[in-house]
A and B are shown apart, each in its own frame.
Chain A
């Protein structure tokens, strides 16, 4: 059974981080260069960690499977990044940001972690501005802010609709500087396929070069995973196509606990699926709900009619009807589930019947077309590009889609997993968002972890490791891991079955979406837990992976990732089944209030579930870490 000591510092909430920084061990500057740190992933968390640690004097190796670190999917984040700067003089504070984030997470995150996140948020903005991130500014030249969901203050910093891109390019520029200066050894096209554990500590990784197929071993004094979320377990999502869970999944199979995998976030306003060839879902910013009205036809038989042919009296503005006080601006999870219900009743619109309308005709009457264009023009353009429809002339069709995972590898306050020497940053860990993430908080967490947490906390571990005592890559552990990988690769290529990898990914996605998506039930989850092992078996027996192992082989890359997704999907369903409550992104139909809100069970489930691998074919062990709320009262989340 894994030991899950969160290592939360004692003392008042607001002093914990400051106190911890003075208490933890340091590595002296001359010794830093004797330690080698592996960073896997180069999104916001990975790039910022690699460059910061290199600047401190550590030797850093950074591995990315992309052709360049600038491709990481942090780049696609649109809205913004939160920080408690209080530049608007509207009463924001570190405490308020802490409270909003904790409450937004439906009281399933650690108080101490979230408070630290709020504290360092202000440093992130300073750091990014110093790097040249071109945030939006006011005419006086000072930084501008906008408002975001789940907050009553204006604290979101942004760079047009491309905030993630600009923050990532800032972190990429810092990484590039350290690579150019010879402080970081950058390995592109390099996918981590195994974690090597020596003497109970994470001491290296096995890498496959995606162009040459070469499998190489790399040892280090500590390993950092910053490899993002696992939303592609649903196949269709707003994630990039290559985003995958392989690094964290293989770490899990080496003993790192996977925490709260069932906490997945589903965003209500995405462009619906148009056919079974579809590879990707595109987000339409939540801001549209400020002026758009969501409706579905009242009658099933109207679902296939053109929206203009459905008279006003036959339209059901269901969010306004069911949630009169919040209307179209009700929380994400509530809006998503309501749209799903309409479609389940047969009232969904569009070719597939999986869509509802987001209508701007009232807004156009009120503001004029030019007024709407000024607010949302770029989003209407994207919508037109994808659907060839003008949302000025007819309502948008929208449907919810997966776009973030709050769960991930378990980490303590130092961001170290239960495997000593293995650190996990950004979306890959579970720590700060609880059961639901607020908008503009993902960018904040990725950069907080990389720039301002790991540079301090990694020293506490390394100070206990003898400098220069890295194991040799010829040791038995490295050899066994590399050999295991080579034979797994050979098995994929030798199977020569009937179906391409994509076929299985689609089927996996359908099982997950149908049974473990927006609304989950005991029966559905049990059905999924029957289907998934069968799918896994069929995959390994009948997958067709053409080509060879010693060249660029995209089918082979995908095969490994999908194999891991099928296994992860099973754990996700298992976690969802055992968590007999509803909270944030995890909604069990059996546990809800009459108004459809999540019904938490703090008594039984006020804890983190951290799953521990027990071997192939064996049920994983469910460990728990109690969430002790010392400073805040766990209460019913209420946005009314």
Chain B
């Protein structure tokens, strides 16, 4: 199954990779030469090859995050030549192929950088802040067994389609890495937009946006200053319009929360 070396023009590159042994250790760029690469190999397969070579030389391989390798799980997270997920539009790191580079190129590879994404090792960062934002309110409460008949609640097709546009977010964090403020607004807005557009999501709409935004702030993400780098870097091309929608929801929810009387209800009963 070996691809013959002469059938496709193989390329050689210099890989300039961020190496960092642990969260507290100092990091630095290290250069590696990689020769005879088939341009049809994916960027992550190139890293596999480099890592096997390092292993054979007795060096520790480069740690990088990856899993599905088809652009849907959101695990891979490299900044390639300064761009989160590298060259190409609407793709994740795992969908970058070596044919995007030329023979002799120097390719700089870094982790997604943000204060809220501490580095674990080399190119692997900790994105658990995203999970905590979801846990704060990124859901519709619906216990198993309690759901009404699915077609009891029609959803206008345009709303369902727009909700789906937002729901395609893969939670990779490229939006944060691309933003000069390390803002997570696109990520949060995508979930707020998805659930807020659906009739099922109305009961918790105010509570959701307030909880998710306050958790986002507490996790150390910055704010949006309308540069839209997030949308440009997003592998699913989620529109920054959802940020405007979230801001509107947040404002409304804040005002309503200030004037909303609280129920005196307490537990107990006959």
Contact = CB atoms under 8 A, between A and B. Distances in A.
Interface string B33-64: 00000101110111011011011101111010
A546 B139 contact: no
B97 A546 contact: no
A179 B135 contact: yes
A76 B200 contact: no
B164 interface: yes
A17 to B, nearest CB: 14
A385 B95 contact: yes
Contacts of B75: 66-67, 71
Contacts of A177: 135, 139, 141
Interface residues of A, number: 85
B49 A76 contact: no
Contacts of B142: 127, 130-131, 174
A140 interface: yes
B11 interface: no
B24 to A, nearest CB: 12
B157 A52 contact: no
B21 interface: yes
Interface of B (DSSP majority class): loop
A501 to B, nearest CB: 8
A388 B1 contact: no
Contacts of A136: 160
B81 interface: no
Nearest to B165: A134
A31 interface: no
Contact of A67 (B65, B147, B153): B65
A555 interface: yes
B21 A162 contact: no
Interface string B150-181: 11011111001001100110110000000000
Contact of B156 (A141, A240, A351): A141
B144 A455 contact: yes
Give the most central of B51, B126, B139: most A CB within 10 Å. B139
Interface in B51-106: 51-52, 54-56, 58-61, 63, 65-70, 72-75, 91, 95, 97, 99
A63 interface: no
A70 B132 CA distance: 12
B258 interface: no
Nearest to B54: A546
Interface stretch (B2-10, B218-226, B245-253): B2-10
A77 to B, nearest CB: 9
A530 interface: no
Contacts of A279: 42, 44-45, 48, 69
A131 B140 CA distance: 5
B148 interface: yes
Given A162-B168, A452-B144, A552-B120, A275 B198 contact: no
Nearest to A85: B150
Contacts of B154: 137, 140-142
B266 interface: no
Contacts of B40: 274-275, 387-388
B124 interface: yes
A135 interface: yes
Interface stretch (A96-104, A111-119, A146-154, A165-173): A165-173
Interface residues of B, number: 84
A559 to B, nearest CB: 11
Contact of B150 (A140, A143, A387, A500): A143
B147 to A, nearest CB: 4
Contacts of A135: 160
B70 A280 contact: yes
Give the most central of B55, B91, B95: most A CB within 10 Å. B55
A138 interface: yes
B262 interface: no
A180 B136 contact: yes
Contacts of A468: none
B4 A451 contact: no
Given A546-B59, A554-B61, A143 B151 contact: yes
Interface in A139-194: 139-143, 159-160, 162, 165-166, 169, 172-174, 176-177, 179-180, 186, 188
Contacts of A276: 1-3
A351 B150 contact: no
Given A52-B144, A385-B95, A552-B63, A282 B139 contact: no
Contacts of B112: none
A73 interface: yes
B67 A71 contact: yes
A419 interface: no
A138 B167 CA distance: 18
A66 B74 CA distance: 11
A76 B198 CA distance: 24
7 contacts: A67-B127, A73-B67, A134-B198, A173-B138, A240-B67, A280-B69, A499-B56
Given A132-B139, A277-B41, 6 more contacts: A70-B171, A75-B68, A139-B157, A180-B137, A186-B131, A551-B21
What are the nearest 3 A-B pairs in CB distance? A141-B154, A180-B135, A275-B3
Interface of B: 1-4, 7-8, 21-22, 38, 40-42, 44-46, 48-49, 51-52, 54-56, 58-61, 63, 65-70, 72-75, 91, 95, 97, 99, 120-121, 124, 126-128, 130-131, 134-151, 153-157, 160, 163-164, 167-168, 170-171, 194-195, 198, 200-201
Interface of A: 48, 51-52, 55, 66-73, 75-76, 85, 87, 123, 125-132, 134-143, 159-160, 162, 165-166, 169, 172-174, 176-177, 179-180, 186, 188, 211, 240-242, 273-280, 282, 351-352, 354, 385-388, 451-452, 455, 498-500, 502-503, 544, 546-547, 551-552, 554-555
